[in-house]
Amino acid sequence: MEIQSVDEFISQLLIDKGITDLEPEVEADLKQELKTRLEDQINKAAVMQLSEEKAAELAELIDDPEFTNEKLTDFMQNSGVNLAEVATDIMLQFRSLYLGQGE
């Protein structure tokens, strides 16, 4: 998932919620908090799609300082995880819950 698309999603989410008149610093903090929460949920959902073997392999790789986000994305895609699908599902759930439309 591209960072820009997450940023755009969060901005639209705030508009849809009716949060449009915040001080710039407060708005930036809120957007960062929402972005962090969303990305954490996407990452957790993606990891849950891994087999036990791939999850163990990821646990070893994650501690390597040279294991970048790009390498993580490649690893997940090569492990059979459809990141676009996972991200879309989580974003829809996140939006529904944030706007008070979910259970």
Please state the rounded mean pLDDT for residues 77-87.
Answer: 92
Residue 103 is assigned to a structural domain of this protein: no
Q: Is the pLDDT of residue 29 over 50?
A: yes
**What is the tens place of the pLDDT at every residue in 5-17?**
899 999 999 999 9
Residue 7 is assigned to a structural domain of this protein: yes
Q: Is the pLDDT of residue 4 over 60?
A: no
**Entry pTM:** 0.83
Q: How many domains are contained in the chain? A: 1
> How is 26-58 classified by DSSP, letter by letter?
HHHHHHHHHHHHHHHHHHHHHHHTS-HHHHHHH
Q: 102 or 28: whose pLDDT is higher?
A: 28
- Per the structure, the complete domain to which residue 18 belongs is given by 3-98
Please state the rounded mean pLDDT for residues 49-58.
Answer: 93
